[in-house]
Amino acid sequence: MIDTNYLWYNIEITQDEYPENPREWDNLWTLVTSHRNYSGDDELPEWQASIEKAFAMYLEWEWLSMEEVYYHTVYLYEHSWVTISTSPFWCRWDSWQWGYIYVSKKKAEEELTCAKCNLEKVTLTYLDNEIKTLDKYYRWEIYEYRIELLWEMSWWYESEDEALAEAKRYIDTTDPEGKIMNISELIYNEAMDSFWDKFNNLKNDSEMMVDKEWETIEANEELLTNIVWDKLRKY
């Protein structure tokens, strides 16, 4: 958790307790898996001799072949936590090949701007990043920020640093250099000085209070002050 100030605004970065599964977004890529507890966008056929043959069969159902898609093999590690990767894990007892993430070469050509780049390399990088994002979700490494007094909250950041940078960017856009906050602080302080002067004058006004009321005020000054302050804050 991060609790910090920026341009006189308080920023709080916390873990997102209810992050949205990124596979529910509008993804260009398809994740097909074989696992009883953790699933992607679709399931691989279970009756094939190997997961490779299951993937080939699945692609046939989609009117595709291995030569017509870009894909990454996806691995899953499950012990006291779950993590996924496009690279094999060191532990062969608690990890295995989970499935594949793929996109057709035709769709990659249509959706990715890649005039002079290596389309295959760019696409595979996108696929790998999709798995990294999903891995963050599985490991509960998703964050949100709140900005006090701006009443702003935003979520689904993959690191505390990213959330903090976005919060600062929002403040920079809403209140450049913190001028609004600075002026607000000056108005607030002057108003409070005036309030306390008036409050103390009324509290000590012998003509306003009878003896019994004054005894009550004197004995409960802190409680009285808190109640008046709370009423003003709500107003």
Residues 160 and 165: their CA atoms lie apart, in Å, by 9
User: Given this model, what pLDDT does residue 214 score?
Assistant: 63
Please check whether residue 97 is in contact with residue 51, taking contact to mean a CB–CB distance below 8 angstroms.
yes
User: Given this model, what pLDDT does residue 203 score?
Assistant: 66
- The CB density around residue 196, as the number of other CB atoms within 10 Å, is 11
Residues 6 or more apart in contact with residue 41 via CB below 8 angstroms:
23, 27, 30, 31, 32
- SS3 sequence, 43-75? ECCCCCCCHHHHHHHHHHHCCCCHHHEEEEEEE
In the chain, where the domains are located: 20-138, 178-234
Statement: residue 234 has pLDDT above 60: yes
Question: Which position has the higher pLDDT, 204 or 84?
Answer: 84
Residues 223 and 216: their CA atoms lie apart, in Å, by 11
Residues 178 and 110: their CA atoms lie apart, in Å, by 44
Computed from CA positions of residues 182, 184, 190, 193, in that sequence, does the dihedral angle turn out positive or negative?
negative
Computed from CA positions of residues 63, 66, 72, 78, in that sequence, does the dihedral angle turn out positive or negative?
positive
Please check whether residue 31 is in contact with residue 40, taking contact to mean a CB–CB distance below 8 angstroms.
yes
161-205: per-residue pLDDT in tens? Answer: 999 999 999 999 999 888 888 888 887 788 778 877 877 777 666
5-35: per-residue pLDDT in tens? Answer: 999 899 999 999 889 988 888 788 999 998 8
At position 184, the amino acid (one-letter code) is S
Statement: residue 211 has pLDDT above 60: no
54-83: per-residue pLDDT in tens? Answer: 999 999 999 999 999 999 999 999 888 899
97-120: per-residue pLDDT in tens? Answer: 999 999 999 999 998 877 778 999
Residues 71 and 57: their CA atoms lie apart, in Å, by 15
